[in-house]
Amino acid sequence: MYIRKKKNTSGSISIQIIKKIKGKSKVIESIGCSKDPDKIERLLKKAHKRIKELEPTLFDSVKQEEQKLKFLPISNEQVIPIGDELFFGAIFDRIFNKKTIFQSVYKANDKHELFKALVISRILYPGSKLYLSDYLFYFKKKEISDEAIYRLVDSLYKDEVKQRIEEAVYKDTLAKVGGKIAVCFYDVTTLFFESESEDDLRRIGFSKEGKLARPQIQLGLFTTLQGYPLSYEVYHGKKYEGHTLLEALLNFQKKFKLKNKPIVVADRGMLNDANIAFLENNGYKYILGAKIKMLPSGIKDKIINLTFIDDNVTHEINIHKTIT
């Protein structure tokens, strides 16, 4: 950009800021016009100042010998990353209300911040709950005792705190799926412990991970079609997973007062007469997976005789079975 002094037919001088765009001169801004030489000089100074505003530079234009570079005495150990707080911290704050989750719990604010750090650390650096102390020390320059983490876990185990967390997650999930849960998926997974001792909850049972000599717990989880969490229940490690569906579904319905019963989708582990009878008698629609080789021979014969040519065609087999 440059400044142009344009003489008008009236005898006045116009001061303009011009910019070349594709070889053509374009008036970016008119500063003013005057016949008075002193005023014209002031307009020129104003135009020079305006060009600096319109063309900001990364550094001020100063003479090389006047430049002074300042180096801060800082090491990597003193750098505290904040990207995790800005991103995942913002999501956490949107879901969980600081005033309600640990309401009436001793040192509620401290526990809320520690819970937030625990969630973020498990996302970025998955590990045990005690790994939280390493995360805070190396990345946040904070020291925390193992006892403080155990006290946090004790607070999270309280029924009222667990319920508030689930309600907050459910509310956020409900907003994401348009305010209605039409379909929910249910599955059970096992979580094992690096120990050989059992208690009322940690029991040695059937392990999906092949850890036959390790105590475990079972986690029953409801999710949406998109994979967002809805509700969960914890069971001892020896419980047959097919016996968890009814309790989990009843608790899910009771906790969130579901007005419309969702379609329940589950794998073959839930396929037993008691579950089917409950779903049928309580008006639930459901989809249960099954291994063909485990089905009665009559049903297998019907499936084998089906013709699968078009992927868009759905086949239906009617089964009549008395379930009480």
Please write the tens of the pLDDT for every residue from 93-150: 999 988 888 887 888 888 899 999 999 999 888 888 888 898 888 888 888 999 999 9
Q: Does residue 300 sit within a domain?
A: no
Query: Domain range for residue 96?
Result: 80-157
Q: Does residue 174 sit within a domain?
A: no
Q: Give me the sign of the Cα torsion angle 51, 53, 59, 61.
A: positive
At 41-60, the pLDDT tens digits run 989 999 888 888 887 654 55
* Percentage of the chain modeled with pLDDT above 90: 24
Tell whether 153 and 183 lie within a shared domain. no
Tell whether 89 and 44 lie within a shared domain. no
Tell whether 35 and 112 lie within a shared domain. no
Nearest to residue 231, comparing CAs of 186, 292, 291? Answer: 186
Q: Domain ends where: 109, 127, 157?
A: 157
Tell whether 111 and 20 lie within a shared domain. no
Q: Domain ends where: 123, 157, 191?
A: 157
Tell whether 89 and 29 lie within a shared domain. no
Nearest to residue 129, comparing CAs of 48, 43, 193, 34? Answer: 193
Tell whether 121 and 199 lie within a shared domain. no
Q: Which of 77-86, 95-104, 189-198 has the lowest mean pLDDT?
A: 77-86
Q: Does the pLDDT of residue 248 top 60, yes or no? A: yes
Average pLDDT (197-201) is 86
Q: Does residue 91 sit within a domain?
A: yes
Q: Does residue 84 sit within a domain?
A: yes
The residues pairing with 27 across neighbouring beta strands, listed in sequence order, are 18
Tell whether 208 and 267 lie within a shared domain. yes
Tell whether 218 and 285 lie within a shared domain. yes
Tell whether 129 and 85 lie within a shared domain. yes
Spatial distance between the Cα atoms of 73 and 77, rounded to a whole number of angstroms: 12
Residues in the chain: 324
Spatial distance between the Cα atoms of 122 and 100, rounded to a whole number of angstroms: 22
Tell whether 183 and 289 lie within a shared domain. yes
17: its two tokens: 């800021």
Q: Does the pLDDT of residue 74 top 80, yes or no? A: no
Spatial distance between the Cα atoms of 246 and 220, rounded to a whole number of angstroms: 11
264: its two tokens: 């329940």
How many domains are there within the chain? 3
Spatial distance between the Cα atoms of 224 and 264, rounded to a whole number of angstroms: 10
Tell whether 210 and 286 lie within a shared domain. yes
CATH code: domain of residue 285: 3.30.420.10
Q: Does residue 116 sit within a domain?
A: yes
